[in-house]
Chain A
Amino acid sequence: AQSVTQPDIHITVSEGASLELRCNYSYGATPYLFWYVQSPGQGLQLLLKYFSGDTLVQGIKGFEAEFKRSQSSFNLRKPSVHWSDAAEYFCAVAPNAGGTSYGKLTFGQGTILTVHP
């Protein structure tokens, strides 16, 4: 069965500092990969996704992620964090198997980001 691990439960950074959130997955083949963000009391919003092609993916709000097949990782990065980025971030995978496997997302446990002024 596929699984997703986000090793960091909670990360604190200063505003303006760079950010990297880690995501590792376990799956037999390269799955489809996603990063979602959840602000307090809200639903989830997609930041970016990787299906194939260029391994560096650009998303909304200045985020990017890099897929590394050799490390089974899909880490999220931002060069300069803003206070409004404080939220919980979820990595997710979906099987690259077609048919009714589409859309069956498996989520990581989430990483809470705190931003100090």
Chain B
Amino acid sequence: NAGVTQTPKFQVLKTGQSMTLQCAQDMNHNSMYWYRQDPGMGLRLIYYSASEGTTDKGEVPNGYNVSRLNKREFSLRLESAAPSQTSVYFCASSPTGLETQYFGPGTRLLVL
């Protein structure tokens, strides 16, 4: 099992460009999450999907959209990237909301 995989590992964007961060899990988990990690701020929840077909906002959703494509895949889209979105993005999944969350290796995004 690969667990939680994220692509790309690293990306550089110019302000105003768009991109989609991909996340997939092979553990048959129902719940999936997107976080961003900034120095000194820990991880902050952007969006989550409690189950296939549902998504909801987390703490910092502005500037992002998500799609729960199927049970395995949960993508995060930046429609018009801004320098404030420079961060490390982590995807996570869990069997349901209460159990342990398993994290992917992260995507490092730099917006110039």
Contacts and interface: CB of A to CB of B under 8 A. Distances in A.
B104 A102 contact: no
Contact of A43 (B58, B90, B94, B98): B90
Interface string A30-50: 001000000001111110010
Contacts of B96: 102-103
Q: Please give me the 7 A-B residue pairs with the lowest Cβ-Cβ distance, nearest first.
A: A102-B97, A103-B97, A43-B103, A107-B42, A44-B103, A107-B43, A102-B98
A110 B31 CA distance: 24
Contacts, number: 66
Contact of A103 (B42, B101, B106): B101
A11 interface: no
Interface string B59-96: 10000000000000000000000000000001010101
B24 interface: no
B98 A109 contact: no
A39 B52 CA distance: 31
Interface string A65-107: 0000000000000000000000000101010000011111111
Interface of B: 4, 31, 33, 40-45, 48, 50, 56, 58-59, 90, 92, 94, 96-98, 100-101, 103-106
A46 B3 CA distance: 14
Given A32-B98, A100-B97, A103-B33, A44 B43 contact: yes
Interface of A: 4, 9, 32, 41-46, 49, 51, 90, 92, 94, 100-110
Given A46-B100, A108-B42, A109-B40, A103 B105 contact: no
Given A102-B96, A103-B31, A109-B40, A45 B101 contact: no
Contact of B94 (A4, A90, A103): A103
30 contacts: A41-B105, A41-B106, A42-B105, A42-B106, A43-B4, A43-B92, A44-B43, A44-B101, A49-B100, A51-B98, A90-B42, A92-B43, A94-B97, A94-B98, A102-B31, A103-B33, A103-B48, A103-B97, A103-B98, A104-B45, A104-B48, A104-B58, A105-B33, A105-B43, A105-B45, A105-B101, A107-B42, A107-B43, A108-B42, A109-B42
